[in-house]
Chains A and B, each alone.
Chain A
Amino acid sequence: MNLTIGLLYLVSAVLFILGMKRLSSPETARSGNLISAAGMFIAIVSTIPLLSGVTGKSAFHHHLLNYILIIAGILIGLIIGALGAYLVKMTAIPQMVALFNGVGGGAAALVATMEFLTHAHHPGTISSSFAITMLFASFIGSISFTGSLIAFGKLQGLIERPITYPLQKIVNGIILFGIVLLGIYLAGIAHNPVIFGWFFIISLLFGVLMVLPIGGADMPVIISFLNSFTGIAVAADGFTINNVAMIIGGTLVGSSGTLLTILMCKAMNRSITNVLFGAFGKVATKTSPSASIKDQNVKPITADDVAVMLAYAQLVIIVPGYGLAVAQAQHQVRELEIELEKRGVDVKYAIHPVAGRMPGHMNVLLAEANVPYDRLYEMDQINPEFKRADVVLVIGANDVVNPAARNSPGSPIYGMPILDVEQAKQTIVLKRSMNPGFAGIENELFYKPNTRMLFGDAKDSVSKLVNEVKKIK
Chain B
Amino acid sequence: MTGSTVGLFLFYIFIMAIFVGFEVISKVPVILHTPLMSGTNAIHGIILIGGILVLASASSLLAFIFGFIAVVFGSINVFGGFMVTNRMLEMFKRKKK
Residues of A within 8 A of B (CB): 16-17, 19-21, 23-27, 29-30, 32-34, 36-37, 40, 43-44, 47, 50-51, 54-55, 63, 65-67, 69-70, 72-78, 80-82, 84-86, 88, 90, 93-94, 96-97, 99-101, 103-104, 106-108, 110-111, 113-115, 117-118, 223-224, 227, 230-231, 233-235, 237-239, 241-260, 263-264, 267, 351, 353, 358-361, 363-364, 367-368, 370-373, 376, 378
A94 to B, closest residue via Cβ:
B34
Given contacts A110-B73, A243-B50, A259-B21, contact A77 B79 (CB under 8 A): yes
B53 with A37: CB separation less than 8 A: no
CB neighbours (8 Å) of A231 from chain B are 40, 43-44
CB neighbours (8 Å) of B33 from chain A are 260, 263-264, 358-360
A264–B33 Cα distance when bound, in Å, is 9
CB neighbours (8 Å) of A63 from chain B are 56
CB neighbours (8 Å) of B84 from chain A are 84-85, 88, 93, 96-97, 100
14 contacts between A and B (CB under 8 A): A47-B49, A69-B64, A85-B81, A101-B77, A104-B41, A107-B47, A108-B50, A113-B66, A234-B47, A243-B49, A244-B13, A249-B44, A251-B18, A363-B30
A238–B39 Cα distance when bound, in Å, is 20
A251–B13 Cα distance when bound, in Å, is 9
| 7 tightest Cβ-Cβ pairs between the two chains A and B | A77-B75, A81-B80, A255-B21, A73-B71, A81-B79, A85-B83, A359-B33
A256 with B45: CB separation less than 8 A: no
B72 with A73: CB separation less than 8 A: yes
A252 with B49: CB separation less than 8 A: no
Q: Which of A20, A80, A108 contacts B47 (CB 8 A)?
A: A108
B21 with A254: CB separation less than 8 A: yes
CB neighbours (8 Å) of B91 from chain A are 90, 364, 367-368
Q: Which of B18, B53, B63, B80 contacts A243 (CB 8 A)?
A: B53
A110 with B69: CB separation less than 8 A: yes
A76–B29 Cα distance when bound, in Å, is 35
A113–B67 Cα distance when bound, in Å, is 10
CB neighbours (8 Å) of A114 from chain B are 54, 58, 63, 66-67, 70
A78 to B, closest residue via Cβ:
B79
CB neighbours (8 Å) of A21 from chain B are 24
A373 with B49: CB separation less than 8 A: no
A375–B79 Cα distance when bound, in Å, is 33
A1 to B, closest residue via Cβ:
B6
CB neighbours (8 Å) of A50 from chain B are 53
| Tally of contacts, chain A with chain B, CB under 8 A | 372
Interface size class of B (residues with CB under 8 A): 35 or more
CB neighbours (8 Å) of A67 from chain B are 56
Interface of B is mostly: helix
A110 with B70: CB separation less than 8 A: yes
A103 with B37: CB separation less than 8 A: no
The answer to the question of B2 belonging to the interface, with a C-beta cut-off of 8 Å to chain A, is no
A77–B77 Cα distance when bound, in Å, is 8
Given contacts A107-B70, A111-B70, A367-B91, contact A23 B50 (CB under 8 A): no
Q: Which of A32, A245, A368 contacts B39 (CB 8 A)?
A: A32
B14 with A110: CB separation less than 8 A: no
Q: Which of B10, B26, B40, B48 contacts A242 (CB 8 A)?
A: B10
A65–B64 Cα distance when bound, in Å, is 9
A67–B30 Cα distance when bound, in Å, is 43
In the assembled complex, the CB of A34 is this many whole angstroms from the nearest CB of chain B, namely: 7
A367–B74 Cα distance when bound, in Å, is 30
In the assembled complex, the CB of A36 is this many whole angstroms from the nearest CB of chain B, namely: 6
CB neighbours (8 Å) of B96 from chain A are 27
A376–B95 Cα distance when bound, in Å, is 14
In the assembled complex, the CB of B34 is this many whole angstroms from the nearest CB of chain A, namely: 4
CB neighbours (8 Å) of A74 from chain B are 48, 52, 71, 75
CB neighbours (8 Å) of B83 from chain A are 81-82, 85-86
Q: Which of B44, B62, B71 contacts A250 (CB 8 A)?
A: B44
A4–B79 Cα distance when bound, in Å, is 25
B39 with A19: CB separation less than 8 A: yes
CB neighbours (8 Å) of A243 from chain B are 49-50, 53
CB neighbours (8 Å) of B21 from chain A are 20, 251-256, 259
A353 with B17: CB separation less than 8 A: no
B44 with A117: CB separation less than 8 A: no
CB neighbours (8 Å) of A250 from chain B are 44, 46-47
In the assembled complex, the CB of B50 is this many whole angstroms from the nearest CB of chain A, namely: 4
Other than A70-B55, A78-B79, A256-B22, give 19 A-B pairs with Cβ distance below 8 A: A23-B35, A25-B29, A40-B78, A44-B46, A54-B53, A65-B64, A76-B75, A81-B80, A88-B84, A99-B80, A107-B71, A110-B66, A114-B67, A235-B14, A253-B41, A255-B22, A256-B36, A367-B91, A367-B95
A360 with B31: CB separation less than 8 A: yes
B80 with A100: CB separation less than 8 A: yes
CB neighbours (8 Å) of A110 from chain B are 51, 66-67, 69-70, 73
A259 with B25: CB separation less than 8 A: yes
Given contacts A73-B71, A114-B70, A252-B21, contact A360 B47 (CB under 8 A): no
A240 to B, closest residue via Cβ:
B50
B44 with A230: CB separation less than 8 A: yes
